[in-house]
Amino acid sequence: MDLSKARARPHRVRVVTVIGTRPQLIKVGALQPVLRQRVDEVFVDTGQHWDDNMAGSFFSELGLARPDYSLGAGGGSHAEQTAAMLVAIEPILVRERPDAVVVVGDTNSTLAAALAAAKLDLPVAHVEAGLRAYDRRIPEELNRVVVDHLARLLFAPTPTAVQNLRAEGIVDGVSLTGDLMQDLAADVLPSIRDATVLQGIGARLGMQLAPGGYIFVTIHRASNREPAALAAWTNLLGQLARPGRQVIVALHPGTRAALDREGIRFGPGITVIEPQGYRTSLAMQLHAAAVVTDSGGVTREAAWLTVPCLVLRPSTEWHEAVATSGGRLVAVALDAQRAAFELDRLAPVPEAEAKARARSASLDLRRAGAAEAITEQLASLAAAA
């Protein structure tokens, strides 16, 4: 073997990707197939979402590789969880010595991995950099800000995210890549466009589902698990139910536990189901009369699907989604009166079915190309090696 030729082979970039939650799995589901064509990836799952309904089933549904390391660091307070992840991630990074550590979004897993990498002087590559709700009471907001100031590569999904970074003095290493979740939603849309998909979902869930005949709800944020908030939004949902329009809540296990602690029960017209897989969740959004959520991911999925969406937060980091929604996406916080007004404006019961059928038939959702753009940036690290 000619050793001189062997040494001349181009360096193949090696990255460690760290995830831990259901939304991160969705994003990596769009990124990983493209990334692994050009980059060697070590895949780490912190276990921040350890429930199979929340995360476990997503590995098979999205065709993700099994993690190289599973840390089992879910549960506990923010401090306990982040500390456990830091302790577990550091020796992995020492062992693997990657060219970059890829972190996704705004979770405790993201923060822990970024801190561990930065302290080892390993480049941090932040997917979804620059998002800001401008509300420091939100734990995810603090994570985003810290990680962006640690990162060397910042993959911004929107022009506003780029502007937010610039306003904080962050310009080096910033790339406008588009949104990974848009890539995945566009890929899945053809398989859920026909409303007959609801028949199979309804049969599995033991209920009748018709286009425009229900509201799809997800609520998971820590702020909405406080006693006063729980009482407020359960009352809000009760006021949204109408004859011919059931309210279906895909209930996060943490939210369920908080409701149980307070002894709060849902009123008539509200049906609780387990968290659903990605394809089912997207289909139930597309064919709903409207979506009600405090999730950033569901908010932007609803925006791409052009479904009316009420956001149970005073603000959202997805400013473009609000601005381009034509009034379909509204942050109502926990104001029940406003929520009922906006829903009756956006999806009146007599028109809901026709609106839902027209929406699914005409929707034209294109890929953003985010997976390719991010992979190109990471693969280019080989030139600097």
**Catalytic residue numbers, as ranges:** 220
Instruction: From 12, 16, 13, select the one nearest 90 (Cα to Cα).
Output: 16
Cα separation, 374 vs 156, in Å, equals 10
E strands in the chain: 14-19, 40-45, 69-70, 100-104, 124-127, 153-156, 174-176, 214-218, 246-250, 270-273, 290-293, 309-311, 329-331
Place of tokens 């190109």: 376
User: How is residue 50 written in tokens?
Assistant: 């350890």
Cα separation, 130 vs 313, in Å, equals 19
- Cβ pair 248, 208 in contact under 8 A: no
Collapse the DSSP code of 154 into the 3-class scheme (helix H, G, I; strand E, B; otherwise coil) and give the result.
strand
Integer angstrom CA distances of residue 277 from 157, 187, 197, 342, 365: 24, 15, 14, 28, 20
Write phi, then psi, for 35 (nearest 5 degrees).
-60, -45
Cα separation, 295 vs 237, in Å, equals 16
CA terminus-to-terminus distance, the chain? 24
Query: In sequence order, what are the beta bridge partners of 156?
Result: 176
